[in-house]
Amino acid sequence: MSAHLEVEGVSKAFGGLRALSLCSLSVEKGSIAGLIGPNGSGKTTLFNVITGYVRPDAGTVALGGTPITSARPDEVFALGLGRTFQLTRIFARLTVLENMLVATQRKEGWLRSVARPAASSAEQRRAIELLDFVGLTRLASARAGTLSYGQRKLLELAYVLVADPSVILLDEPAGGVNPTLINEIRERILALNSEGKTFLVVEHNMEFVMGLCHTVTVMHQGSAIVTGTPDAVRSDPRVLDAYLGGGEEQDDDVAVG
Amino acid sequence: MSARRESGGAASPDAPAVPLGGSGRRRAAIGTAWIAFAAALIVFPVVFSNPTVTTIGVFTLVYMTSATAWNGFAGFSGYVPLGHAVFFGVGGYTLALVALHLKMAGGYAMFALVPLGGVAAAVIAVPFGLIALRTRRHTFVVITIAVFFIVQLLAFNLGFTQGSSGVQIPTPLWTAATFNDRFYYAALIVLALAVLVVWGIRRSRFGLQLLAIRDDEDRARGLGVKVQRVKLVGFVLSGVTVGMAGGIYAFFVGQVYPQFAFDPLFDVTVALMAFFGGLGTISGPLLGALLLEPIQQYLTLQYSVGSLYLIIYGALFLVVILAMPRGVIPTAGEYLQMRRARRVERADGRSPAATPSVEVAPLGRASR
| Model pLDDT for residues B311-340, shown as the tens digit of each residue | 877 887 788 778 887 878 888 888 888 888
Q: Is B177 on the interface with A (CB under 8 A)?
A: no
**Cβ B223–A97 below 8 Å, yes or no?**
no
Q: The sheet that has A66-67: what strands, in order across it?
A: A17-28, A3-14, A58-63, A66-67
Which range, A107-121, B82-96, B175-189, B307-321, has the best average confidence (pLDDT)?
Answer: B82-96
Residues sharing a CB contact under 8 Å with residue B45, sequence separation 6 or more, in sequence order: B54, B57, B180, B181, B184, B185
**Which residue among B215, B224, B229 sits closest to A103, beta carbon to beta carbon?**
B224
Q: Which residues of chain A have a CB within 8 Å of the CB of B212? A: 91, 94, 102
Q: What is the dihedral of CA A226, A229, A230, A232, to 10 degrees?
A: -70
**CA-to-CA distance for B7 and A88, rounded, in angstroms?**
29
Among B75-89, B224-238, B242-256, B353-367, where is mean pLDDT lowest? Answer: B353-367
Listed in sequence order, the residues at least 6 apart from A203 whose beta carbon sits closer than 8 Å to its beta carbon are A34, A35, A36, A170, A172, A173, A174, A175, A209
Going by pLDDT thresholds of 50, 70 and 90, the confidence category of residue B261 is confident
Is B367's Cβ below 8 Å from some Cβ in A? Answer: yes
Q: What pLDDT sits at residue A245?
A: 61
Q: Is the pLDDT of residue B21 over 50?
A: no
Residues B278-310: tens digit of each pLDDT: 888 888 899 889 988 888 888 777 776 667 777
Summary mean pLDDT of chain B:
81
| pLDDT in the model for residue B93 | 92
Q: Rounded to 10 degrees, what is the CA torsion of A179, A184, A186, A191?
A: 170
Sorting pLDDT into bands at 50, 70 and 90, what band is B9?
very low
pLDDT for position B225: 87
> What are the start-end ranges of the H helices in A24-170?
43-50, 73-78, 96-102, 110-115, 121-134, 149-161
Q: Residue B21 contacts by C-beta under 8 Å, 6 or more apart in sequence?
A: B9, B27, B30
Span B195-207, mean pLDDT?
Answer: 90
Instruction: Please answer whether residues B232 and A81 qualify as being in contact, where contact means their C-beta atoms are separated by less than 8 angstroms.
Output: no
Q: Cα(B73)–Cα(B230) distance, rounded to whole angstroms?
A: 10
Nearest to B262 by CA among B96, B80, B133: B96
Cβ proximity of B224 and A100 under 8 Å: no
pLDDT at B121: 93
Q: What is the DSSP track for B18-29?
A: S--S-SHHHHHH
Look at A113 and B206 and tell me if their CB atoms are within 8 Å.
yes
Q: How far, in Å, CA of A118 to CA of B14, rounded?
A: 11
Query: For residue B231, is pLDDT > 60?
Result: yes
Angle separating helix axes B264-277 and B308-323, nearest 10 degrees:
30
Average pLDDT over residues B130-143: 90
Per-range mean pLDDT, top range of A103-112, B46-55, B76-85, B288-297: B76-85
Q: Using the Cα atoms of residue B122, residue B124, residue B125 and residue B130 in order, give the sign of their dihedral.
A: positive
pLDDT tens column, B28-43: 888 898 898 888 888 8
For the domain made up of A3-244, give the CATH fold. Answer: Rossmann fold (3.40.50)
Domain assignments of chain B as residue spans, ordered by start = 49-264
Q: What pLDDT sits at residue A205?
A: 83
The shortest C-alpha distance from B76 to chain A (Å) reads: 11
Strands A167-171 and A223-228, how do they pair?
unpaired
Query: Which among A196, A195, A219, A222 has a CA at the least distance from the CA of A209?
Result: A219
Question: Which tops the pLDDT comparison, B61 or A102?
Answer: B61
Q: What is the pLDDT of residue B44?
A: 86
**Helices and strands, counts by H and E, chain A:** 10, 10
> B233 contacts in A (CB within 8 Å)?
110, 114
B27 in contact with chain A, both atoms CB, cutoff 8 A: no
Average confidence score pLDDT of chain A: 83
Considering only CB atoms, B205 lies closest to which of A95, A118, A143, namely A118
| Residue stretches of chain A with pLDDT short of 70 | 1-2, 244-257
Q: Is the pLDDT of residue B20 over 60?
A: no
Query: According to the model, what pLDDT value does residue B140 have?
Result: 92
| Residue among B206, B212, B227 minimizing CB distance to A94 | B212
Which of the four pLDDT bands, split at 50, 70 and 90, describes residue B15? very low
Region B346-368: what's the mean pLDDT? 43
Mutate to test the interface with A, among B4, B205, B206, B357 (most CBs of A within 10 A): B205
Partner residue opposite B226 with nearest CB, options A74, A76, A116: A74
Q: What angle do CA A28, A30, A31 make, to 5 degrees?
A: 60
A42 with A248: CB under 8 angstroms? no
Q: How far apart are CA B89 and CA B69, in angstroms?
A: 15
pLDDT at B130 over 50: yes
pLDDT at B19: 45
Where helices occur in chain A by DSSP H, the ranges are 43-50, 73-78, 96-102, 110-115, 121-134, 149-161, 179-194, 206-212, 230-234, 237-244
pLDDT at B234: 94
Average pLDDT over every residue of B3-19: 38
Which among B100, B120, B122, B68 is positioned nearest to B251, based on CA atoms? B100
Check CB contact of B219 with chain A, cutoff 8 Å.
yes
The reported pLDDT for the residue numbered B305 is 66
**What ipTM was assigned to the predicted interfaces of this complex?**
0.79
Candidates A113, A103, A94, A119; CA nearest to B14 is A119
The arithmetic mean of pLDDT across residues B52-72, rounded, is 92
